[in-house]
A and B are shown apart, each in its own frame.
Chain A
């Protein structure tokens, strides 16, 4: 990035205050700031969708609660565990990249990708199971048709984010392994990955736990 070089160049002069110009505030490069900004924007998109979900759910006469503790909730819990673990491996990758251990970084990123892929695969089998039970975007066996619409929209968008994240991490791992990317690039990718995790931490309770079959 042009900006990054420009910043380091200007950092070599006499120090100014953090906000006084000539240096990047927060002592971060523009890429990291850009990712944070993207995360803010994307969080609001998810936030709007979650609000919409809550809105139609509250307005519904009776929102279906079809999920049994086993297998639905157990599966979702396992998925949560896998996703959280992949965040830990991502932290390890960032840590390794900071001490310039290239092959170790690549290994940890690949572990993270494995976690992401596992998540997507289990999620996909869950989707297939629900579709086989007759759940569609516009219809489901339990009444309120918006249940399927909200479920597939929210989890679908999240799954897309995870899937894109796996590809993104693949690119970062490859290029970092070849020495084309810096440790900060790994960290920036990590930010995205943790964000996608965090979104799931809202979807898990709101979509799964609140829809457990009672009685």
Chain B
């Protein structure tokens, strides 16, 4: 078939090689840099937000140029604050947490780890990247239209999001672009998910049975299943919201609604709760889409740098599966204050608590892996250990929020903010840091700088605790989220804490420039990487760094061993490659 040849021979032109490439490695790097761009935009937005929260009347230079209405004289208006948080959330959740761990690393590493020369559908792969790119452009465009970015938050709840421009600045054109962007993103995610699942099932090397797959592959595989099944629902919800906004329907708009002192007479019969159900049916699995790849990387790195087999490999796989399955049954815990029946809330709560079990299994298995190990504290390992710490911290506050009586008090306070930033944001980001530090030599053929990595790790690790730990306390005090300032109400006594958080955020945010500098410096001037610098066992470490166009130079690797055979008694070295044919020596 014609496509076979297109996929097998390295392209020569610049455009086919680096822009519209079919090579999974190039596409993975494209995804990675798309996420890197998004994360720094999202980070800048959060810095602006923290600045405004701590010093509400500070003028930000140049901001009035970007948005004369949103920041007259450079001072952020309450509405523009909401725009910033909407774009921060949307960029981070969709274009960073969903994109980098799964599509970025997954694309680059998965085919090599399973011994394939590419993904199952290279063309689809290229398409899903460029569709994601289009979605990002549409989202970023909201900054540059006169309407400004939408103000409805990353969950875009109706009726605010369904009634158009009457709801506030950014809700006319801006929010329409938002819905389009997310709908486009859904399509891209579906294409990507199909590719990941088919690749994992069909293209494994001989001998690489499912139970010999590295846990990273399991994580990507399960995440792809989640993406396949959950983005489909968000797509439907987005379509209905677009119809409400542009077609005059009322799926999410109840009758008699008063917006900006006017009764909406042309809408009746819909329910904002319908959006919440549809959105969170996607939204909760989305949390696991963000975190599961991080779990995979962490398991992989912990085992490699502890020089021990991962503790309870099968349990790790089943735990991820259980998290995925349960993840589809807990969306109601985002809606405890929506007026749902206490019986439903009870059911959702039980299922939510149940997720604690597989999560604890994973945590204890990570600790079990570390127990009695001679740990190599290279920077990938530090990030992975950071992941475990932050995952536990964020997970524990989830136990609070999963219970309706407590959640009703905490709902929409900074406690929730602390919870999901730890578990979904920072933990997943640490997974990405671990992945970057671990696979950078394979992806770019050079080592990252260890000293810079360690400095970055410690500032970031301490920094995120300094930012998000106090937020639990703010939540306990009843500090609501999404308010732009706390200078004239009962929250005034909390302002010193807000200032502390802001300063911590500036330092931690600034420290990310160390990471960026390390990344760019290492890209050009880092020490040349050997084939297997970490003495790891999986297939990506059997090929040159960076791997050639078709990964295995036309050969089909054969797998004999599990992925985590470290310190095997009787073996020559302290690790056995998955492809090592030699059997253990007697004795």
Chain B residues with Cβ under 8 A from A215's Cβ? Answer: none
In the complex the two chains form, is A137's CB within 8 Å of B207's CB?
no
A-B CB pair tally, cutoff 8 Å = 169
Residue ID in chain A nearest B228 by CB atoms: A41
Given contacts A30-B120, A48-B278, contact A138 B247 (CB under 8 A): yes
Separation in Å of the B10 CB from the closest CB of chain A?
A: 13
In the complex, what distance in Å separates the CA atom of A60 from the CA atom of B117? 55
Count residues of chain A with CB under 8 A from any CB of chain B.
48
In the complex the two chains form, is A138's CB within 8 Å of B229's CB?
no
In the complex the two chains form, is A49's CB within 8 Å of B206's CB?
no
In the complex the two chains form, is B240's CB within 8 Å of A3's CB?
no
Given contacts A1-B3, A30-B202, A37-B193, contact A56 B559 (CB under 8 A): no
Partner of A48, one of B7, B195, B271, B281: B281
Within 8 A of B (CB), among A32-81: 33-34, 37-38, 40-42, 44-46, 48-49, 51-52, 55-56, 59-60
In the complex the two chains form, is B198's CB within 8 Å of A3's CB?
yes
B268 at the interface (CB under 8 A from A): yes
Given contacts A44-B232, A138-B248, contact A22 B204 (CB under 8 A): yes
Residue ID in chain B nearest A46 by CB atoms: B236
Chain A residues with Cβ under 8 A from B195's Cβ? Answer: 34
Chain B residues with Cβ under 8 A from A10's Cβ? Answer: 206, 556
Residue ID in chain B nearest A182 by CB atoms: B1
Chain A residues with Cβ under 8 A from B247's Cβ? Answer: 137-138, 149
Chain B residues with Cβ under 8 A from A51's Cβ? Answer: 278
B4 at the interface (CB under 8 A from A): yes
B131 at the interface (CB under 8 A from A): no
Count residues of chain B with CB under 8 A from any CB of chain A.
61
Given contacts A16-B207, A52-B251, A138-B266, contact A6 B240 (CB under 8 A): no
In the complex the two chains form, is A1's CB within 8 Å of B228's CB?
no
In the complex the two chains form, is B121's CB within 8 Å of A33's CB?
no
In the complex the two chains form, is B1's CB within 8 Å of A5's CB?
yes
Residue ID in chain B nearest A7 by CB atoms: B202
In the complex the two chains form, is A2's CB within 8 Å of B118's CB?
yes
In the complex, what distance in Å separates the CA atom of A199 from the CA atom of B120? 28
In the complex the two chains form, is B228's CB within 8 Å of A37's CB?
yes
Offer 10 A-B interface pairs, CB within 8 angstroms, sorted by A. A2-B118, A3-B118, A6-B117, A9-B556, A20-B207, A51-B278, A52-B236, A56-B269, A137-B247, A149-B251
Interface residues of B (CB under 8 A from A): 1, 3-4, 7-8, 114-118, 120-122, 124, 190, 193-195, 197-199, 201-210, 212, 228-229, 231-233, 235-237, 239-240, 243, 247-251, 266-271, 274, 277-278, 281, 556, 558-559
